[in-house]
A and B are shown apart, each in its own frame.
Chain A
Amino acid sequence: MGPYQTIEQWIDLYYGRLFGIAYTYVRNHHMAEDCVQTTYLKAFKSIGQLTGTNPFPWLAKILVNECLSYKRKASREYSTEYVPELSSPSSEDVYLRDHIQRTVHQAVLSLPVKYRMPIVLFYFYDLNYAEISAILGISIQSVKTRLHRARQRLMKVLKEGEMDGSGQPLELRKTAPENH
């Protein structure tokens, strides 16, 4: 199979997951699409550098670097401060109805990126410490530490309704008491 066919296959296999990671990183649909698209273009040209049989961590590493680069560029143009989607209707709002799922997801997205990405990769994509370490370019010990701190922060956010300092209580508290 040639590089073109390989990329075509990878688009079918990994587009959704890569988009998901990009979205949790940049928190913007357009940006996420752009990052995934660029990731595939870069992967195409450097496909010879892939070692191992599972390309997903390798693609994810390219993607995370691309997201970082994209956010740096974007931050020069406008504020990228996260605005929770609870208050403004969007296509996601139309599509997604489950408030608890959404609230937890938004709580994860409200974490700083250094804590957010380990949580996303570990819990949402079932990657192991070594894979996360390779993708994020940090040591395995740092991955463990960040995951631990991320969990603490997440608990705090979910319990106290802290989302980017908005002070608004999470819907979770209204709809899903802890004894559920």
Chain B
Amino acid sequence: MDLDSLLSLGKRHQRIIEDMALRGHANMKRRILDQLNEPSPVHEAYWIPKTSRSSHKRRMGLIGAFCVLPLLFGFAGYKVYEQWSGTTVAKSNQNEGPASLWADPTYLNYELGQPNTEMYSLSEASIIAGIPLHAPVHISSWKNIFSRGLVFEQKGYRLLKNHKLKLVHIGHTPLIFVDIYENSKGQRIAVSQQIQSMMTIANRQLGKDHHSEVNPTLEVGADWKVLTGFPNGLVYWVSGNWSDLPGKQAFQGQYENVVGYIRVPNGAVKEVDIGEYGNVDKSQLLAFARAYMK
């Protein structure tokens, strides 16, 4: 086989890589267009004329000030700061009790620090998970601070163990996509998306009245009610004590989550969990869930 023929094969492979990227095209398009609509200070900085080296330094200094000062002033009421995946985030003193695991920086820090934890972009994560994953970039009043598909290298299942919380969570899916948003008060909302395969709900038809067939107390182990106004899937408001959940007895306090089960085109069921950290108001959490899952 001559080189030109081989290169044509390489070209075909290049097209496959492009096709793979195009699977995340819609989401990327939305991200780009959102940024065009709402240019950030960094975005604006591109267009400051590059006249000299000193102006470049001044520009970088300004960008740094724009980034750092709001953090310092905005979170002055919070005493504990943690390094989180290279980003300094505030941990509120108010954060006692009600919490979402993924929004808890202690929990996520621990998981991200494990040697075999792998992270993927949204488009890659969709391919690995085998289900379409969606993540809106902009939700009013909330800033996205973390958005990655996570794979924990265990044999066929995920084993998430938090040394401080003494909490073990086992999932049977290869990937969980985690989106974390933060507001100006330092409160957080975390969204996790994964294929739902370990429970019977995966085999159930989702429809108008199927919650009557579901026992959400078994599924999510909490007080629950079905939320209306979500066009896709079956969505619950769940609340309860962490200590009532199997395997989570060591975790104190209460929680309130939105859990959605959405049938995806290949027949699988996607589970979307939306939880809060920092005593986010219930109405805020619900408004966020509606924006995220619309």
Interface residues of A (CB under 8 A from B): 4, 7-8, 11-12, 15-17, 19-20, 23-24, 29-30, 32-33, 36-37, 40-42, 44-45, 91-92, 94-96, 98, 100-102, 104-105, 107-108, 119-120, 123-124, 151, 154-155, 158, 172, 176, 178, 180
Identify the closest chain A residue to B7 (Cβ): A123
Contact partner of B10 (CB less than 8 A), chosen from A17, A36, A105, is A105
Provide the bound-state CA to CA distance between A119 and B10, in Å: 11
Whether A101 and B35, one on each chain, are in contact in the complex, defined by CB atoms closer than 8 angstroms, is no
CB distance from A77 to the nearest CB of B (A): 10
Apart from A33-B121, A101-B13, 13 more pairs, CB < 8 Å: A11-B25, A15-B21, A16-B18, A29-B120, A33-B24, A33-B28, A41-B35, A42-B46, A100-B9, A105-B13, A105-B17, A124-B11, A124-B14
Residues A180 and B1 in contact, CB atoms below 8 Å apart: yes
Most buried by B among A96, A101, A154, A158: A101
Q: How far is the CB of B215 from chain A (nearest CB, A)?
A: 35
B6 at the interface (CB under 8 A from A): yes
- The answer to whether B128 and A11 touch across the interface, beta carbons within 8 angstroms, is no
Query: What 9 A-B pairs come out closest when comparing CB atoms?
Result: A16-B18, A101-B13, A104-B10, A105-B13, A19-B21, A91-B124, A20-B18, A123-B7, A105-B10
Contact across chains for A91 and B128 when beta carbons are under 8 A apart: yes
| A11 engages B7 (CB within 8 Å) | no
Write out the residue numbers on chain B whose beta carbons fall within 8 Å of the beta carbon of A94. 127-128
Docked CA distance A174–B13 (Å): 19
In the assembled complex, the Cα of A95 lies from the Cα of B12 at a distance in Å of 13
Tier of interface size on chain B:
35 or more
In the complex, 10 of the A-B residue pairs with CB atoms within 8 angstroms, ordered by the A residue number, are A11-B25, A11-B28, A19-B18, A33-B24, A36-B28, A91-B120, A92-B17, A104-B7, A123-B11, A158-B6
CB distance from B66 to the nearest CB of A (A): 17
A93: min CB distance to chain B, Å: 11
Shortest CB–CB separation between residue B98 and chain A, in angstroms? 33
**Within B1-54, which residues are at the interface with A (CB < 8 Å)?**
1, 3, 6-22, 24-25, 28-29, 31-33, 35-36, 43, 46-47
Per DSSP, chain A at the interface is helix
Contact flags (1/0) for B163-198 with A, using CB distance below 8 Å?
000000000000000000000000000000000000
Q: Is the CB of B32 within 8 A of A29?
A: no
Q: Which residues of A contact B121 (CB under 8 A)?
A: 29-30, 33
Among B14, B28, B123, residue most surrounded by chain A Cβ atoms (within 10 Å) = B14
A residues near B22, Cβ cutoff 8 Å: 15-16, 19
Cα–Cα distance between A42 and B36 once the two chains are bound (Å) = 10
Min Cβ gap A169→B in Å is: 16
For residue B46, which residues in chain A have a CB less than 8 angstroms away from its CB? 41-42, 45
- Choose from A8, A105, A180 the contact partner of B29 (Cβ within 8 Å): A8
Are A123 and B10 CB-contacts (below 8 A) given A8-B29, A29-B124?
A: yes
Which of chain A's residues have a CB closer than 8 A to the CB of B8?
Answer: 123
Contact partners of A123 in chain B: CB under 8 A: 7-8, 10-11
Q: Is the CB of A4 within 8 A of B33?
A: yes
Q: How far is the CA of A104 from the CA of B18 in the complex (A)?
A: 16
Q: Which residue of A lies closest to B128 (CB)?
A: A91
Q: Are B36 and A95 in contact (CB under 8 A)?
A: no
Is the beta-carbon distance between A98 and B35 smaller than 8 angstroms?
Answer: no
* Interchain CB contact under 8 A, B6 and A15: no
Q: Report Cα–Cα, A151/B31, bound state, in Å.
A: 38
B11 and A16 contacting across the interface, CB-CB below 8 Å: no
Bound-state Cα–Cα, A178 to B3, Å: 10
Question: In whole Å, how far is A108's beta carbon from the nearest beta carbon of chain B?
Answer: 5
